Structure 1
Amino acid sequence: MFAANGGTPHTTSYYAASANPSPERPPLKGDQTIDVCIVGAGYSGLSTGLHLAEKGYKVAIIEAAQVGWGASGRNGGQLVNGLNASLQTIKKRYGADTANFVAGLVQEGGEIIRERIRTYDIQCDLKEGNVFTAFTDAHMRELEERLNLWASYGIKNQEMLDKAELRRHVNSDVYVGGVIDHSGGHIHPLNLALGEAAAFEKLGGVIYENSPVTSVDTEAAQPVVRTASGSITCKTLVLCGNAYLGHVVPALESRVMPVSTQILATEPLGEGRAHDLMPTDVCVEDVRYILDYYRLSADKRMLFGGGLVYGGTDPSDIKAKLLPNMHKVFPQLKGVKIDYAWSGNFALSFSRVPQMGRLGNNTYFAHGYSGHGVTGSHTFGRILAEAINGDRSRFDVFEKVPWFPFPGGRMFRVPYSVVGSWWYALRDRLGV
């Protein structure tokens, strides 16, 4: 899929190649005024915009490239409940009240996505089931502790799987067991974003594509967003650029770091071969710090992702980086043709907890989902819309959660994080 009017094209991913038809949307031109302006047409912006449009607000979304061009259209497509930081970590850092609050919304994002799919008839290949796999007995203990903790909060959609039970879902010898979350699932992520954009527009929302923001005035009584060819003055501004916001808003730069992850897509495997590998068509991720994640596409390709590059740069050879991991899990796929390989950035926060807050009185932001943005962004979009509509109860909880910049600032945050990842990867290899 390529951008209209010579704009920025989508990455050469399987998702872009199999995207549903989408209209050409013009760039912003001239000076305009509106109730709410949102920067970023990814899940956070689309979720916020759609919730507000349903409430009758006049909303415009400004996108530097195309709808879903960033992480929302490139990710693994997995509906994984929870945040990157565990409920146990949140309780330890922020107290029982915050942990209880977070536990009450960890499944909300998936519920919102399913409601959107039903209400607006979004064709995005929704499948049910999410499996977490363990390489070691230590991993299994970690999963069991997680299951028991979630159950203590009343979340009882998960069950432990021993090695034989796991084989009913994943035909691989490398794991000792796992956990299945029956309330998880997977989707075609770009088609979800395109469907949400279409729903937003049907309710009167406007999206301007190929309109990179050049400056933002968050201190004015009515915030102003400027591009090379126009501006929007609004009562309320929402910043949802996440890992792709760049240097436009300096106050947000130190809060998150872009991190790239990679995915490859095989040729179609055929119904029989695909069923042999993944009999129940669930999505999978393991529990290591630098993990593998994978699933089958609607046309029975293996979509296999993993790896991290701190700072958001692309590796020189994605296939060389991911193929050994895929062949370790599925040696049956050696020699299978790879049709697509791509990279995309997510925004990592130092605490691994998403951030939500305000700049000035009338500018809101949300970012830092740390690899759990598919569901988290939909939840945060609803919470942002609630706050803008006058109910700040849930927004205030997240706004008060402390955040910390990466040690060493922009210059040293990448090497600091690399050293940390080496340490956790070593622990994974040692099984501790």
Structure 2
Amino acid sequence: MNLLFANDRAGQYPPSLYAETRLPFDPQPPLRGEQRADVAVIGAGYTGLSAALHLARAGLSVAVVEAHRVGFGASGRNGGQIGSGQRQEVDWLESRYGRDTARQLWAMAEDAKALTRDLAAQAGVAVHDGVAHACRTAAELRHAHDMAERLARDYGYDRVQPLNREAFRALVPSDAYIGGDLDRGAGHVHPLNLAIGMARLAQDAGAQIFEASLVRDIRHAAGRPSVVQCDHGRVLADHVILAGNGYLGGLDRRVAARVMPINNFIVATAPLGDRAAQVLAEHIAVADSKFVVNYWRLSDDGRLIFGGGENLGYRFPTDIRAKVRPHLLSVYPGLEDVELTHAWGGTLAITMNRMPCLMRPAPNTLAAGGYSGHGVAMATLCGRLMAEAVRGQAAGFDALAAVPVPPFPGGALLRWPLLVAGMSWFALRDRLGV
């Protein structure tokens, strides 16, 4: 079964609050016949659109092929958080790769935030400041406050404000947490509008976008253009960029061995009106410290958008509201009477060590994915890094590609059962509050 069609109708955005409130973007024609391009980009999410935009602005001809719609995958369904740093924190990075590499990776993540904010501004998409990190245990709280101190002292980043229980509860009125921090340098955005805005910018720069164009095969031959074969046409390209992330499937086995699709789920409430102040005192986003993270924010019209719960495999649960509701009520039990007007799922991709996977699967092919829930900014940056690498400026791409991302154990057949076992263990720890 293909994840691209397991849960969604061909060529349509899945029903969600984001799809209902998205910017206009007319369906683009499917690829038919033969198209010649300097670069073929597979996937029209943040990674592929950023790559296409930067390549087109540099004067290269670009053909983007997307199986469904622009922003169809994780880019149009996520929590919208533009987080600081990498998915792993700086103490983890320092312990494995050393202080210098950790500093370089932090600087790249800061560049990713700045790039994402800049492209959002160019596209007229609002970015709201502030992401809070909610802690459940004293050990987690000490670690969060230690990280805020370390970032200010060693990385020159003083935007993270440590918060004790009282201060945190004044910001996030919930009894589920004992404190946390607030990162004023992070932010949140309407994720599908960000993708659509990037698509408009890419088209304005000259990139061609072909929707409803499922890639069936990629063929490489020395000394000749690569052939990206779709159902009703093909692209002949000197370079290929793989930007399918969790929906890449088996187009490249080396990437698939390191990038694991995983499903995550979100609900939105009816507008809360005056009750919105019982959820958040400011227009910030929040993520907690559970292994299977709960994350939430308010929409511009005062709805709570809350993500929680994951599964592996192809199919979404039949009742997503029932999947997410217990997570929401564990944070805000007072919202038990509030209607959940929207519920949707999406497929992102994780790696074994939760670091992004950047690779060169073939001499003229670049791939990036596996952002592990930290992809709004990092995917946007990785698209630009691949565009630079195509143009011979590969320092940034190579720096991230040098971070080892091991393959999942068990190969294609056993990686899901083994990951299910591991995820079940961590889910048990979440329930026990360990």
TM-score interval w.r.t. the shorter chain?
Answer: over 0.9
Q: Which residue of 2 aligns with 1:3?
A: none
Q: Is the 8 A contact 1:129 1:181 kept in 2?
A: yes
Q: Which residue of 1 aligns with 2:256?
A: 253
Amino acid at match of 2:410: G
Greater mean alpha carbon deviation, residues 323-332 or residues 219-228: 219-228
Q: Cα deviations across residues 293-340 of structure 1 (Å, max 9, x unaligned)?
A: 000011111001011212353123211121112112112211111111
Q: Which residue of 2 aligns with 1:402?
A: 404
- C-alpha separation between the residues in 1 aligned to 2:18 and 2:241? 27
Q: Is the 8 A contact 2:255 2:361 kept in 1?
A: no
Q: Cα deviations across residues 340-380 of structure 1 (Å, max 9, x unaligned)?
A: 11110111111111011212221111011011111110111
Q: Which residue of 1 aligns with 2:381?
A: 379
Q: Which residue of 2 aligns with 1:213?
A: 215
1:256: how far off?
1.0
Greater mean alpha carbon deviation, residues 208-217 or residues 222-231: 222-231
Amino acid at match of 1:166: F
- Residues 90-129 of structure 1 correspond to what in structure 2 (within 5 A)? 90-120=93-123, 122-123=124-125, 125-129=126-130
Amino acid at match of 2:329: H
- C-alpha separation between the residues in 2 aligned to 1:406 and 1:112? 31
- C-alpha separation between the residues in 2 aligned to 1:116 and 1:375? 11
* 1:234 equivalenced with 2:237 (yes/no): yes
Greater mean alpha carbon deviation, residues 62-71 or residues 331-340: 331-340
* 1:139 equivalenced with 2:140 (yes/no): yes
Q: Which residue of 2 aligns with 1:353?
A: 355
- Aligned with 1:127: secondary structure? strand
Greater mean alpha carbon deviation, residues 208-217 or residues 419-428: 419-428
1:7: how far off?
4.4
- C-alpha separation between the residues in 1 aligned to 2:300 and 2:128? 9
Q: Cα deviations across residues 59-80 of structure 1 (Å, max 9, x unaligned)?
A: 1110000000000000011111
Q: Is the 8 A contact 1:20 1:194 kept in 2?
A: yes
1:219: how far off?
4.5
- Residues 157-236 of structure 1 correspond to what in structure 2 (within 5 A)? 157-221=159-223, 222-236=225-239
With over 3 angstroms needed to count, the CA separation of the structure-2 counterparts of 1:141 and 1:219, relative to structure 1, is farther
* 1:274 equivalenced with 2:308 (yes/no): no
1:429: how far off?
4.7
1:234: how far off?
1.1
* 1:34 equivalenced with 2:37 (yes/no): yes
- Aligned with 1:104: secondary structure? helix
Q: Is the 8 A contact 1:83 1:369 kept in 2?
A: no
1:183: how far off?
0.8
- Aligned with 2:108: secondary structure? coil
Q: TM-score, normalised by structure 2?
A: 0.94
Amino acid at match of 1:265: A
Q: Is the 8 A contact 1:289 1:425 kept in 2?
A: yes
- C-alpha separation between the residues in 1 aligned to 2:138 and 2:388? 43
Q: Which residue of 2 aligns with 1:330?
A: 332
- Residues 67-106 of structure 1 correspond to what in structure 2 (within 5 A)? 67-106=70-109
- Aligned with 1:101: secondary structure? helix
Q: Which residue of 1 aligns with 2:52?
A: 49
Amino acid at match of 1:269: L
1:431: how far off?
4.7
Q: Is the 8 A contact 2:255 2:359 kept in 1?
A: no
With over 3 angstroms needed to count, the CA separation of the structure-2 counterparts of 1:430 and 1:265, relative to structure 1, is closer
- Aligned with 1:398: secondary structure? helix
- Aligned with 2:109: secondary structure? coil
Q: TM-score, normalised by structure 1?
A: 0.94
- Aligned with 2:408: secondary structure? coil
- Aligned with 1:106: secondary structure? helix
Greater mean alpha carbon deviation, residues 87-96 or residues 184-193: 87-96
Q: Is the 8 A contact 1:42 1:193 kept in 2?
A: yes
- Aligned with 1:82: secondary structure? coil
Q: Structure 1: 5+ residue runs without aligned partners?
A: 1-5
Q: Structure 2: 5+ residue runs without aligned partners?
A: 1-8
1:167: how far off?
2.3
Amino acid at match of 1:246: G
- C-alpha separation between the residues in 2 aligned to 1:332 and 1:22? 38
- C-alpha separation between the residues in 1 aligned to 2:150 and 2:433? 22
Of the candidates 3, 28, 37, which is equivalent to residue 25 of structure 1? 28
With over 3 angstroms needed to count, the CA separation of the structure-2 counterparts of 1:68 and 1:261, relative to structure 1, is same
- C-alpha separation between the residues in 2 aligned to 1:264 and 1:365? 31
Q: Is the 8 A contact 2:71 2:195 kept in 1?
A: yes
- C-alpha separation between the residues in 2 aligned to 1:219 and 1:363? 12
Name the count of aligned residue pairs. 424
Greater mean alpha carbon deviation, residues 99-108 or residues 199-208: 99-108
